Amino acid sequence: SRPVRISVHLHPYGNGRTLLLSRDVTALEQADAMRRDFVANVSHEIRTPLTVLTGFVETLQTLPLDADERSRYLAMMAQQAARMQSVVQDLLTLSRLEGSPLPGMSEWTPVLALMHRCEEEGRALSALLTQNQQRHHVLQFPSVQELRAEGDIAGVPSELQSVLSNLISNAVRYTPASGTITVQWRRAADGSATFSVSDTGPGIAPEHLPRLTERFYRVDRSRSRETGGTGLGLAIVKHVVQRHGAVLDISSVPGKGSVFSVTFPANRLRCPALPDGSPPA
Ligand code: ADP
């Protein structure tokens, strides 16, 4: 049982009588507290790289550095600036999502193209993160043949792309170099279809699962930052998934790995007819 906050106003209205007005302000206060938390989080996420950046500027201004040192400092400064840029970019994405109308059934995203683009991105990110290591991620994607007859998903291509690429990027970023990341697309008997991103990474303890899609919620802060995370990826995923009438499911076994899956109902999918006119099997 949560505490309930009641606001009470007394209005005298003549003859010594008083009107008592009471209002349940629990939800209002909670919304207000959430807004304050959010502003504090944003400020912190921007201020940290800004402090580092300022420190580097001062160093460059005061210390006599040789060309090599200078370029090393400039590279680190660029990294901090990039970090601020990603936070702002993700915040803008979230606020745009909140303000825009629900995606209708007039725009379609081909499953094949979606997977293809995300595969390229995932491989590039894995190559970047494991470049100085002997072992590399194993990335498994459905083949073009498997996806050829898979048709389209109703919805905004750039938004659906951001869902899949956020999930793949998380799998790659949290899974050690020797791990395996598997992306699948499966149709169920009821006509719905699910894409899933599984990894053999560290997994997530059950108590964190319900909070993962909250803005700036992170299980492992340092790993998130180190690999360029903003803490907003899953909040964006959840938003887009809901807007598209889909369902996000997260399951994880600590020490073994995680599976993030997104299921689209049959009415948001369309299959191409085969050349002979019959629907695909
Ligand atoms: P971040 O930018 O920190 O990755 P996200 O919103 O994408 O932010 O994810 C929130 C948190 O969920 C991460 O900080 C991480 O602790 C956890 N997480 C997300 N995906 C995975 C995964 N595949 N394996 C383990 N932990 C994950």
Q: Taking a C-beta distance cutoff of 8 angstroms, is the pair 240, 97 a contact? A: yes
> In the predicted model, what is the mean pLDDT of residues 191-214?
96
Residue bearing the CA closest to ligand 1, atom 2 = 229
Does any ligand 1 atom lie closer than 6 A to the CB of residue 220? yes
Does any ligand 1 atom lie closer than 6 A to the CB of residue 197? no
Does any ligand 1 atom lie closer than 6 A to the CB of residue 167? no
Which atom, in ligand 1's list, is nearest to the CA of 230?
A: 2
Integer Cα distance of 4 and 28 in angstroms: 11
> In the predicted model, what is the mean pLDDT of residues 65-90?
93
Which atom, in ligand 1's list, is nearest to the CA of 234?
A: 6
Residue bearing the CA closest to ligand 1, atom 1 = 231
Query: Given a cut of 70, is residue 1 above it in pLDDT?
Result: no
Does any ligand 1 atom lie closer than 6 A to the CB of residue 91? no
Count of helices and strands (H, E) across the chain: 7, 10
In this prediction, residue 225 carries a pLDDT of 81
In this prediction, residue 85 carries a pLDDT of 94
Number of neighbours of residue 241 by Cβ within 10 angstroms: 22
In this prediction, residue 87 carries a pLDDT of 94
DSSP 211: G
SS (H, E, C) 140-207: ECCCHHHHHCCCEEECCHHHHHHHHHHHHHHHHHHCCCCCEEEEEEEECCCCCEEEEEEECCCCCCHH
In this prediction, residue 228 carries a pLDDT of 82
Distance 217 CA to ligand 1 centre (A): 8
Quick one: pLDDT band at residue 190, thresholds 50, 70, 90? very high
> In the predicted model, what is the mean pLDDT of residues 89-111?
92
What are residue 212's phi and psi, to 5 degrees?
-60, -30
What are residue 234's phi and psi, to 5 degrees?
-75, -25
Query: Given a cut of 80, is residue 101 above it in pLDDT?
Result: yes
Integer Cα distance of 234 and 236 in angstroms: 5
Order the strands of the 138-140 sheet from edge to edge: 138-140, 180-187, 193-199, 257-264, 247-253
How does the average pLDDT of the chain come out, rounded? 92
In this prediction, residue 247 carries a pLDDT of 98
Q: Taking a C-beta distance cutoff of 8 angstroms, is the pair 280, 149 a contact? A: yes
Q: Taking a C-beta distance cutoff of 8 angstroms, is the pair 105, 154 a contact? A: yes
Integer Cα distance of 34 and 249 in angstroms: 24
Distance 117 CA to ligand 1 centre (A): 21
In this prediction, residue 227 carries a pLDDT of 83
User: What beta strand segments (E) does the chain contain?
Assistant: 6-12, 18-24, 108-110, 138-140, 152-154, 180-187, 193-199, 247-253, 257-264, 269-270
Distance 224 CA to ligand 1 centre (A): 7
Distance 219 CA to ligand 1 centre (A): 7
In this prediction, residue 276 carries a pLDDT of 56
In this prediction, residue 92 carries a pLDDT of 95
Helix axes 233-243, 67-99, angle to 10 degrees: 30
Does any ligand 1 atom lie closer than 6 A to the CB of residue 94? no
Integer Cα distance of 161 and 97 in angstroms: 14
In this prediction, residue 140 carries a pLDDT of 97
Integer Cα distance of 153 and 92 in angstroms: 25
- Report yes or no for ipTM above 0.95: yes
Pairing of strands 138-140, 180-187: parallel
Residue 9's identity, in one-letter code, is H
Residue 29 or residue 237, greater confidence = 237
> In the predicted model, what is the mean pLDDT of residues 166-181?
96
In this prediction, residue 274 carries a pLDDT of 54
pLDDT 10s digits, 238-280: 999 999 999 999 999 999 999 999 999 999 999 875 555 555 5
pLDDT 10s digits, 46-68: 998 999 999 999 999 999 889 99
Query: Given a cut of 70, is residue 214 above it in pLDDT?
Result: yes
The two tokens of residue 234 are: 């899953």
Does any ligand 1 atom lie closer than 6 A to the CB of residue 257? no
pTM above 0.90, yes or no: no
Look at residue 105 and give its three-state secondary structure: coil
Percent of the chain with pLDDT over 90: 73
